Amino acid sequence: MIAVLAGGVGAARLLAGLVRVVPPSEVTAVVNTGDDVVMHGLHICPDLDTVTYTLAGADNPDTGWGLAGETWQAMGSLGRYGGETWFNLGDLDLGTHLYRTGHLAAGVGLAEVTAGITAGWGLEPTLLPMTEDRVATMMTLADGSGGGDEVGFQEYFVRLRHDVPVSSVRFDGAEASLPGPGVLDAIAGADVVVVAPSNPIVSIGPLLAVPGIADAIRARRDHTVAISPIIAGAALKGPADRLMRELGHEASVVGVARIYRDIAACLVIDSADADLAGAVEAEGMACVVTDTVMSSPEVAADLAKVVLGATS
Amino acid sequence: MIAVLAGGVGAARLLAGLVRVVPPSEVTAVVNTGDDVVMHGLHICPDLDTVTYTLAGADNPDTGWGLAGETWQAMGSLGRYGGETWFNLGDLDLGTHLYRTGHLAAGVGLAEVTAGITAGWGLEPTLLPMTEDRVATMMTLADGSGGGDEVGFQEYFVRLRHDVPVSSVRFDGAEASLPGPGVLDAIAGADVVVVAPSNPIVSIGPLLAVPGIADAIRARRDHTVAISPIIAGAALKGPADRLMRELGHEASVVGVARIYRDIAACLVIDSADADLAGAVEAEGMACVVTDTVMSSPEVAADLAKVVLGATS
């Protein structure tokens, strides 16, 4: 059994590779819900949906998010009324949010709702929300016109295009949250725990802030492998490098090692950072060097093989 | 100023005629919200939307409801998960519900939300929800497999296709509800109050159940004209005749007269019922006979002219 701590796109690609090298039913992803947002009354879980759509092979290659074959009629209509359209919701994607929102309103838990959604796509891996409680990643803007203001993650990420400096991040509600159903068992029972190449601050950070999850992983440190989302000092996508710098971390594989060394015994870094392997080891982690740019599911599968071999 | 008590399709057609014969800005429709339903977390106001879309000339001629040019991607996606799709929501239509739900959740009242929607379509008439409080039309099924069960209006109307006998109707929440902003003033200040050819039981009934509205209309009885939705003993569309019979009314213009005689001085009936004009008058109402089948906006405009002339 493999447990993967997952954010969005990077984790989704790794999972798509992983299910090519192990039986998909043996894969459980524990997925960040700190990015979740209620828009227009609908409960939206961007990371769960990105992982779902990617594993289903239904992800949209044009946008890099959402569903293939998407249309935008509802947003056009919302725009007619001057409604908020900065968080773009495709018509097909809306079906997912309608299903989720209706079932949550009827008292069904997010884990069961998520199982209903993955079943709709015929997925064999298990996707578990990190928690069924509300945890909201909140970003304090550092300066400029919004200095000192705190905004929700999607407002930072989508509306402001993560193009603003951040002075702090917190996970509202995390202290009182419980791990979602199955999460601790998935970690405790895994042969390998993988920390996907997701943003350490805002994708993996919320997971580790849910009381119990970080301890469960620390207990499995010898079987835990992290993959650096930083390659040659930069994130392939998104603000991981920038956020790390702004929050006082080094935006390098060494900085990633310092974040993960307490929970993972091994860090997988890209060949471009081969010269830093020794520096990673100096932080107390084993270091494996390989190609980590998942340009295709085949490359992702090769990376998954390396990751699974790293603890044996 | 003209105030129109309105349900859905029949009222929408009358209003489309009315705005051709008086300045549209002088028309206020007080619209039934007893049909409103929350589906998948979205607040849906079928009668307000039918009136809006029809006045905008954007109604769907193929379905008889919803928007022209509609697509159904979200429902297809919802169906993938086994979600409830019996209440069909088009993608364009969803934009309206997203706008409404988001603004209601932010604390904006339904009257202001409705004004935002009509402004989006550039409508000059004013549409007022009968109340901003929750009033839900509830139907008790008479017998058969669902005998004794109480269902919401949309479940009766859409899911069961109003093809089941009903033993009683009530308007849950009506007793504690207040007329919506502007409703009583619109009635008190109107030169003519028109009761549209909507279902007397489930479209006009909820309006009259909101405390204060029936009294306001009774005070204007001499200036109030009702149009019979029953023609030759049948409704053009929907279950008005059936519901009237099931609830002990006569499904005829005379039965309509008995329902409206306390609030309206005049009943407009179709030429097909000309022989019943005397029987209507015997119920204490003036009776005007004309063509009431609104097969085009031009015919609706002719009917509107007759209605406006009926109290002068």
- Shortest CA distance from A43: residue in chain B: B41
Mean pLDDT (10-residue bins), chain A, 312 residues: 96 97 98 97 97 96 91 97 95 98 97 98 98 97 76 92 92 98 98 98 98 98 98 92 95 98 98 98 98 95 96 71
pLDDT averaged over chain B? 96
> Is the confidence at residue B34, as pLDDT, over 70?
yes
Q: What ipTM score was computed for the predicted complex, to two decimals?
A: 0.92
Q: Are B127 and B29 in contact (CB under 8 A)?
A: yes
CA-nearest residue to B38 within chain A is A102
Paired sense of beta strands B286-290 and B27-31, if any: unpaired
* Interface contact flag, B81 A42, Cβ < 8 Å: no
The confidence score (pLDDT) of residue B182 equals 98
Whole-number pLDDT of residue A55: 97
The C-alpha atoms of residue A8 and residue B41 are separated, in whole angstroms, by: 25
Confidence of residue B312 (pLDDT cuts 50, 70, 90): low
Q: Name residues whose C-beta falls within 8 Å of residue B225's C-beta, 6 or more positions apart in sequence.
A: B192, B193, B194, B195, B264, B265, B266, B267, B268, B288, B307, B310, B311
**pLDDT score, position A146:** 59
The answer to whether A81 contacts B40, with C-beta atoms less than 8 Å apart, is no
Report CB contact under 8 Å: B81, A95: yes
Specify whether the CB–CB gap between A216 and A188 falls below 8 A: yes
Question: Which is nearest to B171 in space by CA: B134, B218, B226?
Answer: B134
Contacts of B40 in chain A (CB under 8 A): 42, 98-99, 101-102, 105
> Can you give the pTM of this predicted structure?
0.94
Q: What is the mean pLDDT of residues B254-264?
A: 98
Could you name the CATH architecture of A2-58+111-132+178-309?
Answer: 3-Layer(aba) Sandwich (3.40)
Residue B123 to chain A, least CA–CA distance (Å): 12
Q: For position B63, what pLDDT does the model report?
A: 86
Q: Which two tokens stand for residue A159?
A: 């509306």
Interfacial residues of A (vs B; Cβ cutoff 8 Å): 38-43, 67, 70-71, 73-84, 89-96, 98-99, 101-105, 116-117, 119-121
C-beta of residue A54 within 8 angstroms of C-beta of residue A16: yes
Average pLDDT over residues B153-159: 91
Contact B71 A76 (CB under 8 A): no
Q: Which residue from B40, B95, B96 is facing A102, i.e. has the nearest CB?
A: B40
| Candidate CATH numbers 3.40.50.10680, 3.40.228.10, 3.40.50.20, 3.40.50.300; the one for domain B2-133+176-309 | 3.40.50.10680
Q: Supply the pLDDT for residue B42.
A: 97
**Domain ranges across chain A:** 2-58+111-132+178-309
Residue B138 has what pLDDT? 97
Measure the CA–CA gap between A197 and B195, rounded to whole angstroms: 64
Predicted local confidence at residue A147, as pLDDT: 64
pLDDT of residue B148: 75
B39 neighbourhood in chain A, CB within 8 Å: 98, 102
Closest CA to B95 of B163, B42, B30: B42
Query: Chain A closest CA to B155's CA: distance in Å?
Result: 16
Is residue B147 pLDDT above 70, yes or no? no
Beta-bridge mates of residue B193:
B3, B224
Reported confidence tier of residue B146, pLDDT bands at 50, 70, 90: low
C-alpha distance from residue B53 to each of B12, B32, B59, B293, B299 (Å): 9, 15, 5, 20, 19
Query: How far away is chain B from the Cα of A103, in angstroms, using its nearest Cα?
Result: 7
Q: Which chain B residue shows the shortest CA-CA distance from A88? A: B95
pLDDT of residue B144: 63
